Amino acid sequence: MKALVSAVALIGLWQAIVSLTGVPAFILPGPRAVAEAALANAAMLSANAGVTAAEIAAGLVLGCVAGVAAALAMTLSHWASRLLRPVLVASQSVPVFALAPILTLWLGYGMGAKVAVVVLIVVFPVASALHDGLTATPAAALDLARLARASRLDTLIWLRLPHALPHLGAALRIAAVYAPIGAVIGEWVGASAGLGHLMLVSNARMKTDLMFAALAVLAVLTLGLRAAVDAALRRLEM
């Protein structure tokens, strides 16, 4: 309900700006023009949204798996921590826009490059948050595990990991919002389909209403993904 109220308020503000300023439609079309463009091009928007959704889903799953694996490895092994931590930090020190053309050159204009960009964006917050949670286990609990002569693997599975689940849940919620950004960036660099590609084509043809329609579909897709992840984590009590 709150999301619906916010959406109505945003659309009302948008319409007020268009009506009061008289801004040309090729710069800022009104909500009605965007809605009409969305209805007129529903099939095209749906097809491109499907491509982007597939890229997001694949990149999100692979990025989360890689992030969890990296966090577990860094917790179990000091050598792995020394090796992986600089790599993870370095992956975030270079802007994704700079890496996307290289990935497109290596992986081509297909789905692979877009998935790789999503993975790069997702893996760091997941690995960082989970590792922080794994290393924040109360010292008293770890002392009890040592007294019980639990192995490092048992301590990780039965003590550290349950304590770190809230951190993982927070990271997954962030990843669900960041993943669409990676997919669209990859499509902007080079693609033949997807919402990002459609936005570029629409902009080049001065079809601003269609560009805003694609942006609106992307926003709905992102909000839906965030809501789905949030619902799943609540069900898992994370």
Flag the least confident range among 48-52, 117-121, 206-210, 234-238: 234-238
pLDDT of 149 reads 80
Write the pLDDT tens digit of every residue in 215-225: 999 999 999 99
Per-residue pLDDT tens for 126-173? 999 999 999 988 888 888 788 888 888 888 888 899 999 999 999 999
Mean pLDDT score, 174-189: 94
Close Cβ partners of 113 (under 8 Å, ≥ 6 residues apart):
100, 103, 104, 106, 107, 186, 189, 190
Contacts of 54 (CB under 8 A, 6+ apart): 111
pTM of the model: 0.90
Percentage of the chain modeled with pLDDT above 90 = 63
Each residue's pLDDT tens digit, 5-60: 888 898 899 989 988 988 888 899 999 999 999 999 999 999 999 999 999 999 99
pLDDT over 70 (residue 68) = yes
The pLDDT assigned to 1 comes to 67
Is residue 95 exposed (0-12), middle (13-18) or buried (19+ Cβ within 10 Å)? exposed
Average pLDDT over residues 60-70: 96
Burial class for 198, CB neighbours closer than 10 Å (0-12, 13-18, 19+): buried
User: Which domains, ranges and CATH numbers included, belong to the chain?
Assistant: 29-236 (1.10.3720.10)
Is pLDDT of 125 > 80? yes
